């Protein structure tokens, strides 16, 4: 009888342990599902290429008295609410100028 009771206790403890270990794994699996099912890794969003500021004069009215990378950053922020980093903006402006 005592043995049976001990067996039940052991089974209960092991069962709880399995449940505790399995729960996060299941939750993680569910999270993966939510993140991935039908969802592309790179989410399509409507927007085009970055504005071409290559033909503008910098530090003039047409660039709002900014540098061209600065003006590009302002344009992108206005349209997409995303700030390009300064080095990124410089690189893109250089590309746009065909250099």
Partner 1 sequence: MVIRARGEADRDGAGRQVTPSGNRMTCAKPCPTARLRLLRRGRSLVWMLAALAAASIRASAAPAIGAYLDLAGMPARAQADELARLVDSGVTTLRMPLDWNRVEPKPTRFTWKADDTAVNAARARKLDIVLVLGPNAVWAVDPAWQVPAKERRYSLPKNIKVWERYVRQAAMHFKGRVRSWQVREQPNARNFRGARSEYLRVVASAARALRAVDPSANIIVPEAGALDIAEMDRICSSDYKASCYILGAYLPSANGPSETALAWAVVSSKTCSVATAHKPVWVLGADSAISADSWMEQYLLASAYGSPRFYMPAAAVDKSWASVLSQLRYSGHLRLGPDVWALVYEDASGPVVAAWSDGDGGTMVPAGDLAPIADADAVRQAATPGGEPGSAVAMDGGTTKLRLNHRPTLIRGLNTAAVAHSGAPRPEDVLAGRPAMAPDPAAPVSVDYGRSDSPERGLYNRSLRNRVGGHVAEEMHNGRMCLRTKIYSGPGEAELDNPWIYFDVDDRWLYFAQGKTPVAITIECEGSSAGEEKLGFNIWYDSTTGYRFSPWQWVAAGSDWKRYRVELPDISFADRYGYDFRINIKGSTQDVWISSVTVEKLPAQTSRVAARSAR
Judged by the rule CB under 8 A, the positions of this chain that interact with partner 1 are 29, 32-33, 35-53, 55-57, 60-65, 76-80, 82, 84-88, 91-92, 95-96, 98
Closest CB 46 distance from partner 1, rounded Å: 4
Cα distance between residue 95 and residue 56, in whole Å? 14
Ordered alpha helix ranges (H), 37-85: 68-80
CA 92 to chain centre: 21
Cα distance between residue 99 and residue 85, in whole Å? 20
Closest CB 90 distance from partner 1, rounded Å: 9
Cα distance between residue 6 and residue 1, in whole Å? 9
Q: Between 8 and 23, whose beta carbon lies closer to partner 1?
A: 23
Token pair of 96, please? Answer: 């746009």
Closest CB 88 distance from partner 1, rounded Å: 5
Q: Between 2 and 61, whose beta carbon lies closer to partner 1?
A: 61
Closest CB 25 distance from partner 1, rounded Å: 10
DSSP 61: G
Q: Between 1 and 49, whose beta carbon lies closer to partner 1?
A: 49
């Amino acid at each position: 009888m005592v043995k049976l009771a001990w067996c039940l206790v052991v089974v209960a403890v092991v069962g709880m342990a399995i449940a505790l270990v399995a729960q996060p794994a299941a939750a993680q699996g569910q999270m993966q599902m939510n993140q991935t099912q039908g969802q592309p890794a790179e989410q399509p969003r409507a927007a085009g290429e970055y504005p071409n500021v290559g033909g503008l004069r910098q530090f003039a009215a047409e660039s709002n008295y900014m540098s061209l990378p600065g003006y590009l950053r302002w344009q992108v922020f206005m349209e997409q609410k995303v700030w390009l980093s300064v080095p990124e903006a410089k690189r893109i402006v250089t590309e746009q100028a065909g250099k």
